[in-house]
Amino acid sequence: MNRFDGRRTLITGAGSGIGQATVHRILAEGGRVVAADIEAAGLRVTADRAAAEGAAGRLETAVLDIADEAAVRTAVPAAVAGLGGLDVLVNAAGILRASHTHETALADFQQVISINLTGTFLMIRESLPALLEGRAPVVVNFSSTSASFAHPYMSAYAASKGGIQSMTHALASEYGKQGLRAVCVAPGSIASGMTSDGVPGLPEDADMSLFVKLTPALGKGFASPDTVAGVIAMLASQDGAFITGTEIRIDGGTHM
């Protein structure tokens, strides 16, 4: 299935987890990709796998801090030039931090907002001119189940993801008549790089009984990043042509 033949995609957070899995899924379906991440080492892993799978000629990589406005203003036009245009933007980059809310430093709260919410906005703003000239353009943003359901000790993360979700609705309305679709994925219970080593900053005295509510109903434990990548590929292809201004929850029934 080559749903992405001729489609040009820019993906952030592409050096690990769901972003990395999405790069490989879209390459496998014939797309051309610019993979961006703040970690050069992760991008090398992404590129090495693409080379092993015979897709190196359709992949470019870019080291990018999405919270740096000047860097985004340079990187996005470079990516568009390398691809010869832009049809899909996938904003997978983000960080997860945890703490008691009453002990959360303002700098830590602002860091999460700066990367997750402001960084997503900057990528969208700089990509929109090229997307609006693209073919069946799509923006796929990353919300989280934490945007709609209680995730303890993660108030900053939840706030950032709720903002992304609301911004996606506004984007879909504002640019829908120009042919742009904007959708969110809201993953939960995914074994990504963000969660594999535990939640950074989780208090030692955290009430772990609160996390019982976050257990997938399917009884199979956490899913792999490929599970989300497959949904993103659907949303960014013609199979998702009638989906916009909404979020797709991918959590194994954790929040039924």
* CATH code given to domain 99-105+123-223+240-256: 3.40.50.720
At a CB cut-off of 8 Å and minimum separation 6, what does 236 contact?
Answer: 4, 7, 9, 26, 88, 90, 138, 140
DSSP 148-177: TS--TT-HHHHHHHHHHHHHHHHHHHHHGG
Backbone angles phi, psi at 87, to 5 degrees: -115, -30
Q: Which token pair is 178?
A: 């120009």
User: pLDDT value at position 195?
Assistant: 54
User: pLDDT value at position 216?
Assistant: 79
Give the model's confidence band at 76: pLDDT under 50 very low, under 70 low, under 90 confident, else very high.
very high
Answer whether 1-94 and 99-105+123-223+240-256 agree in fold. yes
The rounded distance, in Å, linking the Cα atoms of 151 and 70 is: 33
State the distance between the two ends of the chain, measured CA to CA, in whole angstroms: 32
Q: Which one from 109, 153, 157, 175 is the annotated catalytic residue?
A: 157
User: pLDDT value at position 198?
Assistant: 64
Express each pLDDT in 132-154 by its tens digit.
999 999 999 999 999 999 889 99
Cα radius of gyration rounded to whole Å, the chain? 17
User: pLDDT value at position 137?
Assistant: 98
Domain chopping of the chain, boundaries:
1-94, 99-105+123-223+240-256
Residue in 150, 32, 142 with CA at minimum distance from that of residue 85: 32
Express each pLDDT in 37-46 by its tens digit.
999 999 999 9
Express each pLDDT in 162-194 by its tens digit.
999 999 999 999 999 999 999 999 998 888 765
Domain 1-94 fold is Rossmann fold (3.40.50)
Contact 128, 172 (CB under 8 A): no
Express each pLDDT in 89-141 by its tens digit.
999 999 999 999 999 999 999 999 999 999 999 999 999 999 999 999 999 99
User: pLDDT value at position 84?
Assistant: 98
Among this protein's residues, is 157 annotated catalytic?
yes
State the virtual CA torsion across 110, 77, 33, 5 in degrees, nearest 10: 130
User: pLDDT value at position 48?
Assistant: 98
Express each pLDDT in 190-216 by its tens digit.
887 655 566 777 898 988 888 776 677
DSSP 109-151: HHHHIIIIIIHHHHHHHHHHHHHTTSSS-EEEEE--GGGTS--
The predicted model scores a pTM of: 0.93
Give the model's confidence band at 219: pLDDT under 50 very low, under 70 low, under 90 confident, else very high.
low
